[in-house]
Structure 1
Amino acid sequence: MTFDIRFLPDDKSVRVKPGTSVLDASRKARVLIRTRCGGNAACLMCKVSAESGEGLSAPSDNEKHKLGNQLTEGVRLACQAKVTGNCTVIIPEDPLKAAVRAQLAKQREDDLW
């Protein structure tokens, strides 16, 4: 038995066995999810959004402690969330890339005036 996990905004999917972490599935799909701690829930860099929450394991006590209220917003740690069914996760934009993109957009807007 395998399940499909889809990664947005890359729109890449991969089939994995139940119990595979979202982080390991992303590596299999060649989708970058940043992490520094090697998947030990220490750096909190691997935050993703679960589109519906379905198809992923319930948050562990450790994940609940680390994320707190963010869990109610659908945020999960890719290193801790395990695939239990077909699911879709959204990987947030890298903060540095977002800042550069915003600055370039502002420059373009200023050039139009």
Structure 2
Amino acid sequence: MSGNRRVTFLPEERSIEVRPGTTLLDASKRARVAVRTRCDGMASCLMCKVNVDPDQAAALQEPTPAEKRMLGGLLGQGIRLSCQARVKADVTVTVPEDPLKSVIRQKLAEQQREKDELW
């Protein structure tokens, strides 16, 4: 394959052109999309999971043995490890919200509701 491929990250809706074979994690770094990771791409922390629509599964290379071992049945649900999944064609992936960010967002929403009830 020659030429670059487009990777789009949701919910940020940021896209970047990368060479085929680039990992989603490397693409996310270049696109400045935060993907949590702790193991530096060794497929051992499971923090860099992303969601890929099953219709776009063929846009990524087959899962590595390490990815198969770590994700098991989650692969069939469109979950991939961004440190292992390599781009073959244009693809859109969804990056789950960071759990800490989610808790903060929920707390802020609760505070806003309480404030609205006071007024």
Compute the TM-score of the two structures, normalised by the length of structure 1. Answer: 0.92
- Aligned-pair distance for 1:107? 2.7
- Aligned-pair distance for 1:45? 0.8
Deviations 1:26-80 (A, max 9, x none): 1111111111111111111111111332311111221111011211211100000
Pair 1:86 & 2:106 matched: no
Q: What residue number does 2:114 align with? A: 110
In 2, distance between residues paired with 1:54 and 1:15? 18
Picking from 75, 88, 102, the partner of 1:98 is 102
Q: Give runs of ≥4 in structure 1 deviating > 4 Å.
A: none
- Structure 1 gaps of 5+ residues are none
Give the secondary-structure state (helix, strand or coil) at the position aligned to 2:58. coil
Q: What residue number does 1:39 align with? A: 41
Pair 1:21 & 2:16 matched: no
Stretch of structure 1 that moved more, 77-86 or 37-46: 37-46
- Structure 2 gaps of 5+ residues are none
Compute the TM-score of the two structures, normalised by the length of structure 2. Answer: 0.87
How many residue pairs get matched? Answer: 113
Root-mean-square deviation (CA), in Å? 1.3
In 2, distance between residues paired with 1:89 and 1:24? 13
Identity of paired residues, percent? 47
**Superposed counterparts of 1:3-22, under 5 Å:** 3-22=5-24
